[in-house]
């Protein structure tokens, strides 16, 4: 179809966008996507497969995932007064929420942050405003409050811990933002298994607070399940936009099984946290790198000026795939992000990084 015909079919916002790119990780050690590197123990796998025999895949799934919602509520200490909404990953929840807003709504988020806040908002033709973080990746509270007063956003997204920087924002600053916001505030806790902080306990203290989580980082990324907790009257409006049967039966059954047999997932999470500490210490041994604190399952580090692309390519040539964020510019210039893998994968990354650093011009 000729390009001039496309301009008549699609909105300008869509034509101006780029599709979300997922790197090809075949034959590489994959440390780019914040996944749990561990598989399930053999005995757990066998019990899981046995449990799936009773899954009625000839029938439509539970449209609201009611049984799974109760399991998630118990596992995450979500208060009884908060309602739950399930989504096909956090991405669908973001999409549902933004689709429900008025067509002239403004969406606000600190930047750099999770790219899907901006991507989905713009794809829907909403006004997106990104507020730059401070140079140390902290929330710029005065800038956030000024942007709230100026744009009156219908929705604010705050990742806690933040992606791609890994840090936890100041909790009091977030509370100040929630109190000042004229619309909804979504605290995105995708990396909660790796952090010792949460806003789940604040549900009910603010009428506009929603907390969003996912099971992806816990070790169930292939199941694509996210969930949102918040005031029942708000969740009820969002549920009108949710497509029926959006969470398939196998996902509901498998997540439910994992929550009931979750000790191994907790052990894996602790192993990843221990490896994060070891990895940060090893990276800090190179004086030319700036390593940022992380409460997630990845570490952001800054390379010598102008070398991020070369180091990324050098790692990939040695079989290691991480994330090159330098191209985003701003405070992420010269930055790379590595997901915490298994001990042997992390050591392979460190060995490859040492070799790549040695190739840099003196």
pLDDT in tens, 50-74: 999 999 999 999 999 999 999 999 9
- Residue 57 Rama label (left phi>0; alpha psi -120 to 50; beta): alpha
Average pLDDT on 2-7 reads: 71
Fold category of 56-260 in CATH: 3.40.640
pLDDT tens for each residue of 146-182: 999 999 999 999 999 999 999 999 999 999 999 999 9
- pTM of structure: 0.94
pLDDT tens for each residue of 181-222: 999 999 999 999 999 999 999 999 999 999 999 999 989 999
Q: How far apart are CA 50 and CA 168, in angstroms?
A: 40
Query: Over 90: is that where the pLDDT of 334 sits?
Result: yes
Which residue in 213, 193, 214 sits closest to 298, CA to CA? 193
Average pLDDT on 254-271 reads: 95
CB contact set of 221 (below 8 Å; sequence gap of 6+): 33, 35, 36
For strands 335-339 and 323-324, give the pairing: antiparallel
Q: Domain map of the chain by residue range?
A: 3-40+264-358, 56-260
Fold category of 3-40+264-358 in CATH: 3.90.1150
Confidence of residue 21 (pLDDT cuts 50, 70, 90): confident
């Amino acid at each position: 179809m000729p390009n001039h015909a496309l301009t008549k079919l699609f909105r300008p916002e869509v034509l101006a966008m780029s599709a979300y790119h997922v790197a090809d990780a075949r034959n590489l050690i994959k440390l780019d996507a914040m996944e749990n590197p561990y598989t399930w123990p053999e005995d757990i796998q066998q019990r899981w497969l046995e449990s799936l025999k009773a899954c009625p895949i000839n029938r439509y799934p539970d449209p609201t995932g009611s049984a799974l919602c109760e399991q998630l509520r118990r596992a995450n200490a979500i208060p009884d007064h908060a309602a739950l909404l399930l989504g096909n990953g956090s991405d669908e929840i973001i999409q549902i929420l933004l689709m429900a807003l008025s067509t002239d709504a403004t969406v606000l988020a600190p930047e750099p942050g999770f790219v899907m806040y901006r991507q989905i908002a713009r794809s829907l033709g909403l006004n997106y405003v990104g507020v730059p973080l401070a140079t140390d990746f902290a929330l710029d509270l005065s800038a956030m409050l000024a942007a709230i007063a100026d744009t009156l956003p219908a929705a604010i997204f705050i990742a806690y811990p933040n992606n791609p920087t890994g840090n936890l924002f100041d909790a009091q600053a977030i509370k100040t933002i929630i109190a000042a916001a004229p619309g909804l505030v979504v605290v995105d806790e995708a990396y909660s298994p790796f952090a010792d902080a949460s806003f789940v306990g604040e549900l009910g203290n603010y009428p506009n607070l929603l907390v969003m989580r996912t099971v992806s980082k816990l070790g169930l990324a292939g199941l694509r399940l996210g969930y949102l907790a918040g005031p029942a009257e708000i969740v009820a409006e969002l549920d009108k936009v949710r497509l029926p049967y959006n969470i398939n039966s196998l996902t509901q059954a498998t997540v439910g099984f994992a929550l009931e047999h979750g000790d191994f997932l907790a052990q894996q999470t602790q192993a990843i946290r221990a490896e994060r500490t070891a990895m940060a210490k090893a990276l800090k041994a190179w004086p030319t790198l700036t390593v940022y604190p992380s409460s997630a399952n990845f570490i952001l580090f800054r390379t010598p000026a102008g070398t991020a692309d070369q180091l990324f390519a050098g790692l990939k040539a040695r079989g290691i795939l991480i994330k090159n964020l330098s191209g985003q510019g701003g405070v992420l210039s010269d930055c790379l992000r590595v997901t915490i893998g298994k001990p042997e994968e992390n050591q392979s990354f460190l060995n490859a990084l040492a070799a790549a650093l040695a190739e840099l011009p003196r």
